Amino acid sequence: MKDVSVLIVEDDKWLAEQYERVLITAGCKVAISLHALAAITVIDDVRPDAIILDVLLTGTTAFALLHELQSYGDTGKIPIILCTNLASELSLDDLKLYGVKRILDKATMAPDDLVAAVKSVIL
């Protein structure tokens, strides 16, 4: 996955680092935002090919960020992978309108699932 740029929005710094470790090993370029508000600036700067997004963030939640991204033609097209402990309570069908392409359950996913999910959404 050379030259694939991924933004990780996750407020648990150590978990974000773990995702970063996995994606860098897979050849991705990675940026991290610990808050949704900071993510908006990073998205403007980096223009990621995919966003890995936690749902329950400090401050503004993921849904506010999803709304914001959908407000603009260019950012609205960035595929989103939700990576959350609430996976069992979310429906991909309901969230497709917000650019969500995959939902991963933090409690059951393996590190490789993250790479597989990124590959599947950028193809």
Partner 1 sequence: MGASKGEHDNSFSKPLLNGLPSFVVAAHELKSPLALVRQLSLMLESGDVSDADRRRMLRQISLTSERALRLTSDLTRAIRMPDALFKLEPINPQQLCEDVVRELTPLFAAHDRVVKLVSRRRSLLLVANRDLLRRILLNFSDNALHYAEDGAAVEIKINVYNNGQTIRLGVRDYGPALSSDLFKTLSTKLKDASMTPIHARPQSSGLGLYIVNQFADAMNGTIGVTRHRDGATFYVDLQTSNQLSLL
What CA–CA distance (Å, rounded) separates 9 from 117? 15
Residues at the site binding partner 1, with contacts judged by CB under 8 A: 11-15, 18, 21-22, 25, 34-35, 37, 56-59, 61, 85, 106-107, 109-111
Q: How far is the CB of 43 from partner 1 (least distance, A)?
A: 19
Could you tell me the smallest distance in angstroms from the CB atom of residue 77 to partner 1?
Answer: 27
Write down the least CB distance from residue 11 to partner 1, Å.
7
Apex 62 CA angle, 99 and 71, nearest 5: 50
Cβ closest to partner 1, residue 1 vs residue 37 = 37
Under a CB-based contact definition with an 8 Å cutoff, are residues 41 and 65 in contact?
A: no
- Contact at 8 Å (CB) between 94 and 21? no
How many whole angstroms separate alpha carbon 83 and alpha carbon 74?
22
Query: Which CB, 65 or 72, lies closer to partner 1?
Result: 65
